[in-house]
Amino acid sequence: MPDSSTRGLRLAELAKRVDARLDGDGDVVVVRVATLEHAGPESISFLANPRYRAKLAETRAAAVVVAPEDASATALPKLIDANPYATFARVATILHPIERPAPGIHATAQIDASAHIARSAAVGAGAVIGARATIGERVVVGANGVVGADATIADDAIVHAGAILYPRTVIGARSTVHSGAVIGADGFGMAEDAGRWVRVPQIGRVVIGADVEVGANTTIDRGAIDDTIIENDVKLDNQIQIGHNCFIGAHTAIAGCVGIAGATHIGRNCRIGGAAMITGHLEIADGTIISGGTTVYDSIRQPAMYTSVFPTLVHGEWKRVAMQLRRLRALVERVRALERKAKAADDGHGSV
């Protein structure tokens, strides 16, 4: 069914709004987005991966988004752009806009008298807004969301139901915090003394920039002394743990279940695959790509793609490879011994 928020748009209008080249009938009206396989006569789809070109010939979509090199592969009306996936994303945003609740504060919300909430903001049922918190224009705080004392949420940000912002947390403009996220909890700061642990007070903040996405159940610890900082346009998937005093540079994307220990500095435009583990106090260069499941123990100074996970094998073969790897050190020593013996023999031969 079409979204209630739209009755569809002419393809020519979409082309203008997403700055793509139109090829074909611009009067075709599209209502929704869909995959090539499941598209119907009111849908617009896309081809970004050449492996799916065969589906382009079979699709029932009204129009498609393609790269220039794929334009000749279909007679359908089309939007042409060098980055068809990004163009499709913009089209989807237009056809399926986020529905925001009407401005206002629900009667069951608990608002401290010293909090400042813009008239255009929407605060849901059971939400809690702490002392001196600032809620900007058109901000949404979902049901049972918690915004701690002295926290700041900038214009057009969305904090979904059940998300928790600890005191003094800063959320930038147009950022989104999904349900279950906890931002600003204590970092894991402990000092050992005579076999016992002494808690180190965590007095920093979490400062999140503009256009950041924080996934469901992701946790970001506040700094021990200085702040934990997430720069603009960082995209964080679900169930990520970010330790205290981390710095994540602008435009970096991190997939689900990644763990980042404290005081790690991740550069700009990095990509980190799911379930990667990064130990603390490291530096990762701008533009680095880390494969899913990779464990990073040392700083990465040169941008490249880094992988530490052994490729998938049939279990029996994996066991045989693992056994050989365990013997690798002994094999290296044997080779070195043979090299020394060969060198000694060569030296002895040369002296005759």
User: Can you give the pTM of this predicted structure?
Assistant: 0.89
For 107, list phi and psi in degrees, rounded to 5. Answer: -60, -25
Q: Are residues 43 and 119 in the same domain?
A: no
Q: Are residues 143 and 221 in the same domain?
A: yes
Query: Looking at the domain assignment, is residue 204 inside a domain?
Result: yes
Max Cα distance, the chain (Å):
101
State yes or no: is 251 an active-site residue: no
In this prediction, residue 344 carries a pLDDT of: 86
Q: Are residues 291 and 190 in the same domain?
A: yes
And the tokens for 169? 């947390």
In this prediction, residue 310 carries a pLDDT of: 82
Element (DSSP H or E) covering residue 117: strand 116-117
User: One of 178, 244, 251, 265 is an active-site residue; which one?
Assistant: 244
Query: Looking at the domain assignment, is residue 1 inside a domain?
Result: no
Q: Are residues 209 and 131 in the same domain?
A: yes
Query: Looking at the domain assignment, is residue 41 inside a domain?
Result: yes
In this prediction, residue 3 carries a pLDDT of: 42
In terms of Cα–Cα distance, which of 157, 255, 249 is closest to 211? 157
> Could you give the C-alpha distances from 290 to 79, 241, 253, 346, in angstroms and in order?
33, 16, 11, 45
Query: Looking at the domain assignment, is residue 208 inside a domain?
Result: yes
Count of domains forming the chain: 3
Give the residue from 95, 127, 157 where a domain finishes.
Answer: 95
Element (DSSP H or E) covering residue 337: helix 328-351
The boundaries of the domain holding residue 214 are 104-306
Q: Are residues 26 and 90 in the same domain?
A: yes
All residue ranges of the chain with pLDDT < 50 are 1-6, 352
Q: Are residues 266 and 341 in the same domain?
A: no
In this prediction, residue 350 carries a pLDDT of: 58
In this prediction, residue 7 carries a pLDDT of: 73
Neighbours of 95 (CB within 10 A): 20
In this prediction, residue 1 carries a pLDDT of: 36
In this prediction, residue 351 carries a pLDDT of: 54
- CA pair distance 348, 302, nearest whole angstrom: 44
